[in-house]
Chain A
């Protein structure tokens, strides 16, 4: 609260005051309704059940598709209240967000949440009534008449809720609304609309089995929430495992430690810059991580040999992308990831290996990994030279764009580097004398092409 700017404070206080006004109004309206007996115990029971439901859902936000937002299923309960209880009841149900048991939520945030849900609920309820929606448990036959006003109420509730919250985020953190992920917005709205439908289901079934309808609707959602939680846990665990295993492959070569994770990071920077979708982004992260696993198949003595290589020895190096492919083929990635691993040493001019593909024949993933791979090699220490500064490495990439690298990928990477500074690896101390001998050549380094002597 202390660090909030004054517009943010004004906004916060306004929303909370408005919410308090709505609540006061609702309580008096409902109170008047109770007095002459228009509001029976049944409605009060409904109010209690829905409030409880709202609270339970609000306390357990689900991480659905959009990672930046914790979407909670509480919408369904609030929107069911629109039908069953009308604007005043919905405002009260929404206000229970104050009591959310989500740990570590400061009082101000609770008040803000409660107030904004009360405002949204009341507005949605008002729209519902204006469009002729009947308040109360819907008759068994009257379900179809409900749909129109209900859709309108959802159409008010959801955007109003997003608007109120986003404004607060913007004022509090200074993040412009555009930067709050636009990409996920469609997906985001879709899931909200989905939740809206669930509210309609709860209301529609209330006449038949009362509160059990809410349980029936929410059980699949809670199971889904559980499964999403498991999925995210497995995903994190998977990422950690794959990184650890790739690093294990590198332990033998003292200087290339961490190469795979950095290539993975640089590859996904380029991929993001050229606008790849989520699925492909994930695939290229793994492809970048795994691009050199085949290197273990190259005998250590070839990697450690001083001076030029014979053709056979060079052939052994050229084989490593194929070896890598052989290892990862059993994993269900996108086919593009395989192609990226297999062709990451192809050159734009067709003089690369293993197939000698050129230009657009080279798979997109491979063109990206090639740039990331060479860049990390140049900006890391090697036994035969120190790390180059990022600027020098970028110049080198530019120089070789069109011959070794795809110019599109190089310029995408340069652009990405402008707004996302690169963290080069820490300086590597020369290995202790008892350590494994270090490789004296790096097949990834474009400034030090491997010399090959023709056969005897």
Chain B
């Protein structure tokens, strides 16, 4: 979210190092022992590269590569090619995934889009984990599918169970990283990641198993055909992620009209929304609520557009309560016009309510964040911040929610620490 946290933190570095080590081990081992069935390795490697090339960014800045992941799954789960048993080792799987991913990332790099190392590392490690768990079982499972009484059910069951476990581990890693990165509670992060990963994970898992099973009765050409269902999925998710991103960008951009019109200080809406989201995270809100909170915070002053004359300095904390309430009402009316953001409209409407009226948590958060920004503005002066916080604390319990104030003060302390660096 905040640009200040852009650098990689320790968890991510650890992940990248681990992935790098595994990749080097895989490539070195494969180079030493030679590729088993090079044409298959190349075929799947190419599909992984294509998938990496077609990676997409899901809401919440999560990078995924569904086709690549399915191809990696397929290669890991491969038992035979047209009944010809395959015995590639887990380390070879790792090598193929690593090389494929790097090959797919190169074109992105060439046009100036550097890879997200942490996301790539996570994809590689997830693939490696499954490979190390499944490859040793490949031989006994294959023998079950041959012989006098061939059966695929044990193989299928093992595949499904191992994939489920791997995906779960992946979600946990992602949640750990996210909790550290955006400072949210681990429990909340796990839920967010699960919600996000489930649909795509199911599609990828099904396609991966499909790829592995398909090579039993067909040759390598079928690879392309079997990636087709996932291609449809990828297109759908790309469109979905695209509109979600555009939506947020548009609300962020249009929230600035109040600044251009001279109603509020430049940057006010963005700062309030950032503060509000940080406070919301601090208070354990999950992602869907945070999105609504962000929308409401961005548009909390939109009602001012209906005023004849801008309030001096645009500071609603200094305006008389009656007028602030009217601005909130007008803003909620505008948002209600959309017909889809009713909850956001409600949050905006009740942003001035005293605590005794029991407004929604988001409204309380916005009220605190707005008051703080009205008093401090874009300044990073610590004394000013302290004074503002003191002034807000005076009305704790009546005008402002004490929990929100405490969360605000934690967020400010953290930001101050960042600024000192």
Residues of chain A touching chain B, judged by Cβ–Cβ distance below 8 Å, are 64, 138, 140-141, 143-144, 194, 197-198, 200-201, 204-205, 207-209, 212-213, 215-221, 223-228, 230-231, 234-238, 240-249, 251-252, 293-294, 296-297, 299-300, 323, 326-333, 436
Contact residue among A220, A234, A246, A326 (Cβ-Cβ distance under 8 Å from B229): A220
Most buried by A among B205, B207, B246, B306: B246
Question: With an 8 A cutoff between CB atoms, is B169 at the interface?
Answer: no
Size of the B side of the interface (Cβ < 8 Å), in residues, is: 61
In the assembled complex, how far is the CB of residue B299 from the closest CB belonging to chain A, in whole angstroms? Answer: 8
CB distance B247 to A223 under 8 Å? no
Q: Which of B246-303 contact A (CB under 8 A)?
A: 246-247, 249-254, 256-257, 260-262, 299, 302
Contact residue among A200, A217, A224, A331 (Cβ-Cβ distance under 8 Å from B249): A331
CB distance B243 to A327 under 8 Å? no
Residues of chain B touching chain A, judged by Cβ–Cβ distance below 8 Å, are 82-83, 152-153, 156, 199-200, 202-203, 205-207, 209-210, 213-214, 216-218, 222, 225-226, 228-230, 232-233, 235-237, 239-240, 242-247, 249-254, 256-257, 260-262, 299, 302, 305-306, 308, 334-335, 337-341
From known contacts A201-B226, A220-B232, A223-B200, infer whether A293 and B257 are also in contact, taking CB-CB under 8 Å: yes
Residues of A within 8 Å of B261, CB to CB, are 296-297
Residues of A within 8 Å of B83, CB to CB, are 140
| Nearest chain B residue, comparing its CB with the CB of A234 | B243
CB distance A331 to B246 under 8 Å? yes
Given contact pairs A204-B218, A249-B254, A293-B257, a sample of 8 additional A-B residue pairs in the complex whose CB atoms are under 8 Å apart: A201-B229, A223-B200, A224-B236, A225-B236, A226-B199, A245-B251, A328-B254, A331-B246
Residues of A within 8 Å of B217, CB to CB, are 138, 140-141, 143, 204-205, 207-208
From known contacts A197-B225, A212-B156, A228-B239, infer whether A327 and B230 are also in contact, taking CB-CB under 8 Å: no
Most buried by A among B199, B209, B229, B243: B229
Contact residue among A212, A241, A299 (Cβ-Cβ distance under 8 Å from B250): A241
CB distance B236 to A251 under 8 Å? no
Contact residue among B239, B250, B305 (Cβ-Cβ distance under 8 Å from A242): B250
Residues of A within 8 Å of B235, CB to CB, are 224
| Nearest chain B residue, comparing its CB with the CB of A324 | B260
CB distance B253 to A216 under 8 Å? no
State in angstroms the CA–CA spacing of A236 and B340 once bound together.
9
| Nearest chain A residue, comparing its CB with the CB of B221 | A144
Residues of A within 8 Å of B299, CB to CB, are 245
CB distance B260 to A221 under 8 Å? no
CB distance A205 to B214 under 8 Å? yes
State in angstroms the CA–CA spacing of A203 and B209 once bound together.
16
Contact residue among A213, A227, A240 (Cβ-Cβ distance under 8 Å from B236): A227
CB distance B257 to A327 under 8 Å? yes
State in angstroms the CA–CA spacing of A80 and B394 once bound together.
72
State in angstroms the CA–CA spacing of A168 and B249 once bound together.
45
CB distance A330 to B216 under 8 Å? no
From known contacts A227-B240, A234-B247, infer whether A220 and B230 are also in contact, taking CB-CB under 8 Å: yes
From known contacts A201-B226, A230-B240, infer whether A332 and B245 are also in contact, taking CB-CB under 8 Å: yes
In the assembled complex, how far is the CB of residue B309 from the closest CB belonging to chain A, in whole angstroms? Answer: 8
In the assembled complex, how far is the CB of residue A226 from the closest CB belonging to chain B, in whole angstroms? Answer: 6
In the assembled complex, how far is the CB of residue A223 from the closest CB belonging to chain B, in whole angstroms? Answer: 4
Contact residue among A198, A220, A238 (Cβ-Cβ distance under 8 Å from B206): A220
In the assembled complex, how far is the CB of residue A252 from the closest CB belonging to chain B, in whole angstroms? Answer: 6
State in angstroms the CA–CA spacing of A323 and B206 once bound together.
50
Residues of A within 8 Å of B209, CB to CB, are 216
From known contacts A208-B213, A220-B230, infer whether A293 and B254 are also in contact, taking CB-CB under 8 Å: yes
CB distance A332 to B240 under 8 Å? no
From known contacts A245-B334, A252-B306, A296-B305, infer whether A330 and B253 are also in contact, taking CB-CB under 8 Å: yes
State in angstroms the CA–CA spacing of A189 and B55 once bound together.
27
Q: Please report whether the interface of chain A is mostly helix, strand, loop or mixed according to DSSP.
A: helix
Q: Please report whether the interface of chain B is mostly helix, strand, loop or mixed according to DSSP.
A: helix
From known contacts A212-B156, A221-B229, A230-B240, infer whether A323 and B260 are also in contact, taking CB-CB under 8 Å: yes
Most buried by A among B214, B235, B306, B338: B338
State in angstroms the CA–CA spacing of A318 and B227 once bound together.
53
Residues of A within 8 Å of B242, CB to CB, are 332
In the assembled complex, how far is the CB of residue B8 from the closest CB belonging to chain A, in whole angstroms? Answer: 25
Residues of A within 8 Å of B230, CB to CB, are 220
CB distance A241 to B247 under 8 Å? yes
| Nearest chain A residue, comparing its CB with the CB of B236 | A227
In the assembled complex, how far is the CB of residue A323 from the closest CB belonging to chain B, in whole angstroms? Answer: 6
Residues of B within 8 Å of A240, CB to CB, are 337-340
Contact residue among B210, B237, B335 (Cβ-Cβ distance under 8 Å from A216): B210
In the assembled complex, how far is the CB of residue B210 from the closest CB belonging to chain A, in whole angstroms? Answer: 5
From known contacts A219-B203, A327-B253, infer whether A244 and B225 are also in contact, taking CB-CB under 8 Å: no
| Nearest chain B residue, comparing its CB with the CB of A223 | B203
CB distance B257 to A296 under 8 Å? yes
- 13 A-B interface contacts by CB (under 8 A): A209-B213, A217-B229, A219-B205, A223-B199, A223-B233, A224-B232, A227-B237, A228-B236, A234-B247, A240-B339, A300-B308, A327-B254, A331-B253
Contact residue among B243, B306, B340 (Cβ-Cβ distance under 8 Å from A231): B243
State in angstroms the CA–CA spacing of A431 and B301 once bound together.
25
State in angstroms the CA–CA spacing of A210 and B307 once bound together.
68
| Nearest chain B residue, comparing its CB with the CB of A64 | B232
8 closest A-B pairs (Cβ-Cβ)? A227-B236, A296-B261, A219-B206, A244-B337, A223-B203, A220-B229, A224-B233, A237-B340
| Nearest chain B residue, comparing its CB with the CB of A286 | B250
Contact residue among A198, A227, A332 (Cβ-Cβ distance under 8 Å from B233): A227
In the assembled complex, how far is the CB of residue B268 from the closest CB belonging to chain A, in whole angstroms? Answer: 15
State in angstroms the CA–CA spacing of A216 and B73 once bound together.
14
State in angstroms the CA–CA spacing of A215 and B210 once bound together.
10
State in angstroms the CA–CA spacing of A51 and B240 once bound together.
32
Residues of B within 8 Å of A64, CB to CB, are 232
Contact residue among A194, A226, A333 (Cβ-Cβ distance under 8 Å from B228): A194
State in angstroms the CA–CA spacing of A209 and B210 once bound together.
10
Contact residue among B82, B250, B308 (Cβ-Cβ distance under 8 Å from A331): B250
CB distance B214 to A244 under 8 Å? no
Contact residue among A144, A227, A249 (Cβ-Cβ distance under 8 Å from B305): A249
In the assembled complex, how far is the CB of residue A278 from the closest CB belonging to chain B, in whole angstroms? Answer: 12
In the assembled complex, how far is the CB of residue A227 from the closest CB belonging to chain B, in whole angstroms? Answer: 4
In the assembled complex, how far is the CB of residue A264 from the closest CB belonging to chain B, in whole angstroms? Answer: 14
Residues of A within 8 Å of B206, CB to CB, are 215-217, 219-220
State in angstroms the CA–CA spacing of A249 and B304 once bound together.
10
State in angstroms the CA–CA spacing of A238 and B249 once bound together.
11
CB distance A327 to B249 under 8 Å? no
Residues of B within 8 Å of A242, CB to CB, are 250, 254
